[in-house]
Chain A
Amino acid sequence: MTAVQPGASGTLASLIGAISGASLAETGSTVTVKVPAAELEGAVHHLAAAGARLADLFAAGQDPTVLRLVWALDAERQYLVMQSDVSGQEYPPLSDVAPAAFAEECEIYEQFGIRPASGKPLNRVALPPHAGPDFPRLGHQPPQAPAEIHAPHTVGGHAFEFPFGPVRQVGVESLYYGLVTSGEEIVDLYLFTWHKHRGLEWRLRGQAPRDALFHVERTEGLSAIAVSWAFAAAVEAALGVAPPPAAQRTRAVALELERLYNHAAATAALCQATGLTVGQSAAEIALERLLRLNAAAFGHRYLFGVMDVGGVRRAPEEAALRAGLRGARSELRRAADALASTNSFLDRLEAAGIVTGEQARRLGLVGPVARAAGLAIDARKDQPAQPYLEFPPAVAIRGSGDVLARFQVMQDEAAESVRLIGDLLDAGAGAGTASLPGAGGSGLGWAESSRGEALAWVALDADGRISRARLRPASVRNWRGFDDACRSQNVFTDIPIIEASFWLTVAGTAR
């Protein structure tokens, strides 16, 4: 999505005005300010204190490397991009002020070789240990390998470490768990997600945006629409084009279908994790009906090939969609209602995997995980763009922050998605694509995936080819809350339940 109300005025202008040395660089669909590196730490402190949400941090280029911080000013319904040139090997430590930045500081070190000036150890988060000087990366190799502070290690006292993964049971993505336990309770947990690194952002360089979509929608296959929508919107913002209104509604129809089948899949996974095979089968029947509905409506079970830069490549088969949606939704609701009155299910969900609102805010979590913890953040509402300006969603929210709250949020959202799809189809959803000028520029795009806010930032060179594309699916944000959720007085058997309720992908973060 791209915003429709640009400019820097009111609260936003006063926020920027209070940042020492800040200069307004761009007031297109997203406001961009330049901040001298020496003032960066103060600027981050200022924005964090003002309630801005640090949504992403990434780097581009070499000598100097440009740091970009994406701030979501949800109350202002605006994104703010703060950019700063870093000439040396170090930049001001940002995660000391905004803890949500730590994972990105680690990733920037691996990809670009620059680090926060605090000297604190940085974890290996993205590239595998064998990444030598010839390994494809976006910038310089770091002078020293990332610290392996989470490598398997001896644990003192009665606690011991139980390594699990990266190969797990059939059909589950590669993920390494380092479980520290004193017997049953989880004392600590850390993850290795780099086994699946694919270098997608590196691979996108030099591609034409439309060609790049093939890789973009495979970044996180279960969020193909959301991630490719964010990417397409970023390119559209860079080029100053807007998709036709009917194509915007088609995008939203596909996005809500994607949300529906993901929430059905999470429900089935919750049943599997709690050992309820009947409930699992019921939810999987609903899931299969939704996937077949995707294929009938858009020609692909996972909605690949729908998105285009500037619009969409195909319109939904409206009759098939209307005919199948009600039945599939009824199937999911029947399963969810039965689960909601099954004590052996609810007992496992209640008070498991708690993420508090403060934790969610501090770590910058998004989507159902944040909404279940009481944070009413939803890019469809907070950063509205067409068609959600005309078709605003009711945002589901709970306060307890546990697995049960996440389950309830997902079921409420499934019902809301069905309503939205009906309204969007009534208004007319069609195919169509705006023509793209072959020009340069940069832009930010976003979409609210079933896992939360997906972001993309794209820079195009003068030939219209990608010089830097940053893809930040929601999984990138929410994995950092998973270990906190697991540590909060849970036992081993709670982990699959918590993982199902987060419903993240490893691919989305190991992109």
Chain B
Amino acid sequence: MTLWFLRGLRRGVVTTRYPARPDDSAADLPTPPVFRAEDLDQALADRLVAVCPSHALRRDADALVFDVGACTACGRCQEAAPGAVTSSGEFELAATSRGHLVKRIPLRREARA
């Protein structure tokens, strides 16, 4: 405690870096998906919306709307479309606005062959 106090006085910084060091175990954690827009058409988007149990996905006309804040990283969308959906590896999801957690992914206009 004393050391932290003195270090803070000397540097003018009262918090540590985050993370203080890389955490290897983070690689084992389930993380929200990322979507390859070039692989997504309306039919696939509808299929992904149907398998999402927490309603983190919805289709809005020609866009797939992904609410990262509602995603539980269950992996069902990745199982449904392993090529178009992959794990992001990102679990640091803090945002200053709730809206920043909602992403719009434009869909291909024509269906994939």
Contact = CB atoms under 8 A, between A and B. Distances in A.
Contacts, number: 22
B30 interface: yes
B4 to A, nearest CB: 18
B53 A211 contact: yes
Contacts of A300: 29-30
B1 to A, nearest CB: 14
B30 A296 contact: no
Interface residues of A, number: 11
Contact of B25 (A211, A295, A304, A305): A295
B75 interface: yes
B43 interface: no
B28 interface: yes
A151 to B, nearest CB: 36
Contacts of B37: none
Contacts of B74: 214, 304-305
A299 B25 CA distance: 11
Contact of A214 (B25, B29, B53): B53
A361 interface: no
A292 B53 contact: no
A299 B53 contact: no
A107 B29 CA distance: 38
A292 B28 contact: yes
B14 to A, nearest CB: 22
Nearest to B54: A214
A295 B53 contact: no
Contact of B30 (A211, A214, A305): A305
A301 interface: yes
A300 B74 CA distance: 9
9 closest residue pairs by CB, A with B: A295-B28, A214-B53, A292-B25, A296-B28, A300-B30, A295-B29, A299-B30, A305-B74, A305-B75
Given A214-B53, A214-B54, A295-B28, 9 more contacts: A214-B74, A292-B28, A295-B25, A299-B28, A299-B30, A300-B30, A304-B30, A304-B74, A305-B30
